[in-house]
Structure 1
């Protein structure tokens, strides 16, 4: 079920223990957010989303102030668009051990 479609501020993060956090923010990024059950959200993109190498988390800030953030589980980030699946966190993102993406890597 789509619960938001429009422009948002999207931040791609690389957060790991014993490393300095890295992030890259895209303003006014067209997205579509779809609730896919069990605390997971699919973020659909209309174009390639820039991010730091080894990104493992995503934060989406909607214009009315709601924030959706979580660890990246799966996705496809292509020049013509794509999608990212995140496990939604209700609080601050935790630092993760490297290699927690189940084989999926930020491209």
Structure 2
């Protein structure tokens, strides 16, 4: 299955919870591959470990030509040698989750 995009992007990993100040960490020129993973889902493949705040639950990928995909992290693996994140793509403002609502995904 072909990739939707492969190359450098700006990736922002966020922890967004109701009642808590949002935390985020942005990685510039991060090598990624984006793959359509079904209706409303994108798989973000990474070539190295992606830094992010503790309990991160959301990711935003900004491509050089201005396209952006963002949404809550559904599943993934973040290892020193790379990994992947599965996100539900959101078209509008990202919602805050109640504290402790990790849905099984844990940012390491």
Q: TM-score, normalised by structure 1?
A: 0.97
Counterpart Cα distance in 1 of 2:73 and 2:102: 7
**Secondary structure of 1:9's partner?**
strand
Deviation >6 Å, runs of 4+: none
Map of 1:41-56 to 2, 5 A cutoff?
Answer: 41-56=42-57
* Aligned mates of 1:52, 1:100 — CA distance in 2: 16
Aligned pair count reads 107
In structure 2, runs of 5+ residues without a counterpart are none
Q: In the alignment, is residue 86 of structure 1 matched against residue 92 of structure 2?
A: no
TM-score (norm 2): 0.96
Pairing of 1:20-31 with structure 2 (within 5 A)? 20-31=21-32
Root-mean-square deviation (Å): 0.8
